[in-house]
Chains A and B, each alone.
Chain A
Amino acid sequence: MRALLILLASTLLTACAGPQLRGTGDLGLVVERASGRVTLVDTTHRQPYGRIEGLGDLSHASAVYSRDGRYAFVFGRDGGLSKVDLLEGRLVKRILQSGNAIGGAISQDGRIVVAQNYSPGGIKAFDADTLELLSEVPAEYAPGKFSKVVGLADVPGNRFAYALFDGGEIWVSDFSDPRHPATRRYPAGRQPYDGLVTPDGRHYLAGLFGEDGIAMLDLWQPEKGARKILENYGRGEEKLPVFKMPHLRGWSVAQGKAYLPAVGRHEVLVVDTATWREVGRIPVRGQPVFVMARPDGRQVWVNFAFPDNGRIDVIDTLAQEVVHAFDPGKGILHMEFTPRGEQVWLSARDDNKVLIYRTDPLERLGEIPAEAPSGILFASRAHRIGF
């Protein structure tokens, strides 16, 4: 076993002199959406150290990590599920699990990887070791009618929460028995487009596209059902067109407040997580896509939908306003903080670069070439609920 580890470590492309053991806490991957490839990166040295090809259509791809932080499970748009070894820098296994997928999640105990699918709509559970299919839950919300599934999140108790875009419901599937999941359904509202679970795993929020507001389910008391919050945030106002759907994923809970993208408005909504009431709105320079809190919660970074997708606004959560507004590159699709938030990495799709910034004081530290980069996902996600 020891010999094997040494062998693995020595294959790392870090140009080291001798065999060297290695953790993955500062590693991660960048999805190169157009080329079906991921680039492996080291955030300590701010360098790429490997590339893995042949992962299929990676538009909208995302990844989750095994609980030891060694393996990434990459979900492709074409239904591909790829298991990547960050230490050996290689593809371990790849399966085609559906026709059209949108992401996935990993269970609390790390043994089940679940993919969420648009068509055929539903979720599928796989053994994290072998990628063997364990079970599936078709999103059949009415006889013969299947819904696209969005906003899949792992929640404590080996359960998964997700929302049905066409069905207008939140479902919670319990995989305590991985081959026989038990599912409960909660009416949510019109056209949920994405979901998130709060960092403590207690509340699941599903953003609604078809009406104003957000559906919220208290997972500690699910019998109370989903209730609607922020119902009035846009009443009577004309909505602006939305050229890209906002994402709720990412820790946007900071200092007792949740920061959420408004739909059809150039605003970030601020909600008190004790009362779940709106306590503010922060004007920003476009339709927000990702609204992500730095791990310490002092800053919230916002990127935008087309045509404002070259911009970044940084909100100071103490001042409750935008303190940095800058245009770092073309097609800023995603951002990821290092585990303690001293750096943020931004993907600039149309510049074919990943940009690295220090967050405080704000300063550009460098860049890494990547072909049409989209998602940036660091291995520190392995230890967070909802990632």
Chain B
Amino acid sequence: MTKQSGRTWLKRAPLLAAPFFFAASAAAVPELSAGRRAELVHLVRQDCGSCHGMTLQGGLGPALTPEALRDKPAESLVATVVGGRPGTPMPPWRQFVSEAEAGWIVQELQAGFPP
């Protein structure tokens, strides 16, 4: 389920700004404005937090701490955030975060998410 190709996301992601999308990948994290970063931190802590816990220690969804994510490839985690995991409660967030933004979220999660 996490093995969707980038192409599939592209087709399913009409809301993404195309140039932005091509410029970014999970590895090369884009420049996000401070305001947008603050919004994403709020989204992750509060709205992802309803399943993963506000401290990201896990809940109905698994922990999203650096230790928990250490050995997981960033691309597949980005795919999970954008596309969700069918058959589980993890929903697709592509309406609300671009793939590039999901890349930033995953990078921060793996490094230790800002408060």
Q: Is A19 an interface residue (CB 8 A)?
A: no
> Which residues between 94 and 115 of chain B lie within 8 Å of chain A, taking CB atoms?
96
A77, B96: Cβ atoms closer than 8 Å: no
A241, CB-defined interface residue at 8 Å: yes
- B55 beta carbon closer than 8 Å to chain A: yes
B residues near A, CB below 8 A? 42, 46-47, 49-51, 53-55, 57-60, 84, 87, 89, 91-92, 96
- Work out how many contacts link A and B, with CB atoms closer than 8 A: 62
Chain B proximity mask over A230-250: 1 for CB below 8 Å, otherwise 0: 000000000001111100000
Chain A contacts with B in 50-100, Cβ cutoff 8 A: 57, 59-60, 77-78, 99-100
Given A242-B89, A242-B91, A148 and B60 contact (CB-CB distance below 8 Å): yes
Q: Bound state CA distance, A210 and B92, in angstroms?
A: 16
The 8 closest A-B pairs by CB, nearest first: A59-B54, A241-B91, A306-B47, A244-B50, A57-B55, A243-B91, A77-B53, A59-B49
**A241/B92 in contact, CB under 8 A:** yes
| A/B interface sample: 28 pairs, CB < 8 A | A33-B54, A34-B54, A59-B50, A59-B53, A59-B54, A77-B55, A77-B59, A78-B55, A78-B57, A99-B57, A100-B57, A100-B58, A118-B58, A150-B60, A191-B89, A193-B60, A210-B87, A241-B84, A242-B91, A243-B91, A244-B47, A244-B50, A245-B50, A245-B89, A306-B50, A307-B96, A331-B46, A372-B46
Give 18 A-B pairs besides A60-B59, A77-B59, A99-B57 with Cβ atoms closer than 8 angstroms: A59-B55, A60-B50, A77-B54, A77-B55, A78-B57, A100-B53, A100-B57, A118-B59, A165-B60, A210-B87, A244-B47, A244-B51, A245-B51, A245-B60, A306-B50, A307-B96, A349-B46, A350-B46
| B50 contacts across to A, CB distance below 8 A | 59-60, 244-245, 306
Shortest Cβ gap from A208 to chain B (Å): 12
A102 close to chain B: CB less than 8 A:
yes
Chain A interface residues (CB < 8 Å from chain B): 33-34, 57, 59-60, 77-78, 99-100, 102, 118-119, 148, 150, 165, 191, 193, 209-210, 241-245, 306-307, 331, 349-350, 372
Q: How far is the CB of B35 from chain A (nearest CB, A)?
A: 15
Within the assembled complex, what's the spacing in Å between the Cα atoms of A354 and B67?
A: 36
Residues on the A chain within 8 Å of B51, using CB: 244-245
Min C-beta distance of B115 to chain A, whole Å: 10
User: In the complex, A372→B92 CA distance in Å?
Assistant: 25
Inter-chain CA distance A34–B46, complex, in Å, is 9
Q: Is the CB of A193 within 8 A of B89?
A: yes
Contacts of A60 in B (CB 8 A): 50, 53-54, 59
B60 contacts across to A, CB distance below 8 A: 118, 148, 150, 165, 193, 245
Residues on the A chain within 8 Å of B89, using CB: 191, 193, 209, 242, 245
User: Across the interface, which residues of B come within 8 angstroms of A33, CB to CB?
Assistant: 54
Q: How far is the CA of A307 from the CA of B42 in the complex (A)?
A: 13
Give Cα A99 to B87, complex, Å: 26
* Closest chain B residue to A349, Cβ basis: B46
Q: Are A243 and B47 in contact (CB under 8 A)?
A: yes
Complex interface: chain B residues within 8 A of A119 (CB): 58
User: In the bound complex, how far is the Cα of B49 from the Cα of A350, in angstroms?
Assistant: 14
Minimum distance in angstroms from A116 CB to a CB of chain B: 12
